[in-house]
């Protein structure tokens, strides 16, 4: 990637919400999503990209899987094809931020 886009770029981390009403759509629950600007049924994904003056590239992505409504519900997980090895993870706090 660096051969094509150069080493003068930046890494971009973006958390994005997707409005979704599906019963089997992985990670859907009532949660705040910036896409709607309110609490609604949505999925939340985190994306890592690299961008330079020569272009951009998606490096990785992860779907946020809510702990109570998804990670702890084995029936819901299996109905959506989410492997048991996928665990709940939260964002670490920013320096100086109290959780």
pTM: 0.73
- Torsion angles phi and psi, residue 76, rounded to 5: -65, -40
pLDDT of the chain along its 99 residues, tens only?
888 888 899 999 988 888 988 778 899 999 888 778 889 999 988 899 999 999 999 999 988 899 988 999 988 888 888 988 888 887 666 666 555
Tokens of 98: 């109290």
For the chain, the domains span 2-64
**What integer pLDDT is reported at residue 36 of this predicted model?**
83
* Whole-angstrom distance, CA of residue 80 vs CA of residue 90: 21
Give the closest residue to 41 by CA, choosing from 58, 61, 66: 66
Q: Is 76 helix (H, G, I), strand (E, B) or coil?
A: helix
């Amino acid at each position: 990637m660096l051969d094509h886009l150069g080493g003068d770029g930046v890494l971009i981390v973006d958390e994005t919400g997707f409005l979704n009403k599906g019963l089997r759509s992985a990670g859907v629950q009532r949660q705040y999503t910036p896409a709607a600007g309110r609490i609604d049924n949505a999925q939340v994904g985190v994306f890592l990209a690299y961008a330079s003056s020569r272009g951009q590239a998606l490096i990785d992505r992860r779907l946020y899987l809510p702990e109570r409504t998804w990670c702890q519900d084995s029936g819901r997980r299996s109905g959506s094809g989410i492997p048991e090895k996928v665990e709940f993870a939260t964002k670490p706090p920013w320096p100086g931020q109290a959780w």
